[in-house]
Chain A
Amino acid sequence: EADIYQTPRYLVIGTGKKITLECSQTMGHDKMYWYQQDPGMELHLIHYSYGVNSTEKGDLSSESTVSRIRTEHFPLTLESARPSHTSQYLCASRGAIRRHSPLHFGNGTRLTVT
C-alpha cells in the first residue's frame, strides 16, 4: 500500500485567498508529480519534480507553483484562488528502481473556489 498523503481532502475557499495543498510521501521517492483532474475524468500533469530543488511545469499550464525543499514533501500553492481553479488535485510519486516504476497516488484534494 502506497504511503503518500494529501491534505486537506476537501477545501472550500473564497476567491482571492492564498492556499497550499500538502503532499507528503514516506517511500523516499525522488520523483513527485501534481495532476489536475477535471470533471470529465482526464488527468493533466501540472508540475513535477525529479528531486530536491528540482521543479518543472507540466503539460497543462497552471497558475499554481510548487517547491521541493525536502524529498518527502511537495506542496502546491495558489497565490490567489479563482473559481477556474476548482478541481481535483492529485499528488503522485515514484521511485527510480528499474524499468518504469509505477506512480503511487494520494487520495487527492478536492478544491472548490467560490
Chain B
Amino acid sequence: GQQLNQSPQSMFIQEGEDVSMNCTSSSIFNTWLWYKQDPGEGPVLLIALYKAGELTSNGRLTAQFGITRKDSFLNISASIPSDVGIYFCAGPLTQGGSEKLVFGKGMKLTVNP
C-alpha cells in the first residue's frame, strides 16, 4: 500500500507566487526524490536528497530532507506558467528483501498567468 502522504493534493496559484508542498511517512527513508510530470509525459527527476537535514536547490526549486528522515518538502519560488504539472515525492523502501520506489499521490499545480 501507499507509504507516503503528500500534501496538498492540488494548488491553484498566480504567476509569481511561491509554492510549498510536503511529503510525510511513518517509515524512515534514506533517500527522498522529487519528480515533476508534465501533461502527456513521464515523470522527470527534479531533486534527489540523500542525507538527513540536506537542503538542495535546483534553480527556483529548493528541497529539504527532514531531520527525522520521515519527511521532505519542496518549494518553488516565483512560479511561472511552465511550472504547471504534477509533482511527486518518492523514496525507496525495502520490503521482503527487495527495494521498491514508493510514490506520493502527487500534487497537481496550476499556474494562472
Binding site for B on A (CB under 8 A): 2, 6, 33, 40-43, 45, 48, 50, 56, 58-59, 90, 92, 99-100, 102-108
Contacts and interface: CB of A to CB of B under 8 A. Distances in A.
Q: Say whether chain B's binding surface is mostly helix, strand, loop, or mixed.
A: strand
Contacts of A41: 86, 105-106, 108
B98 A103 contact: no
Contacts, number: 57
A106 B100 CA distance: 18
Contact of A103 (B2, B101, B106): B101
Between B43, B88, B108, the greatest number of chain A beta carbons within 10 A of the residue's beta carbon is seen for B43
6 contacts: A2-B44, A6-B42, A42-B2, A100-B101, A103-B33, A104-B45
B interface, size bucket: 20 to 34
Interface in B2-46: 2, 30-31, 33, 35, 40-45
A57 B108 CA distance: 28
B103 interface: yes
Q: Say whether chain A's binding surface is mostly helix, strand, loop, or mixed.
A: loop
Given A100-B99, A102-B33, A42 B106 contact: yes
Nearest to B43: A105
A92 to B, nearest CB: 7
A100 B93 CA distance: 10
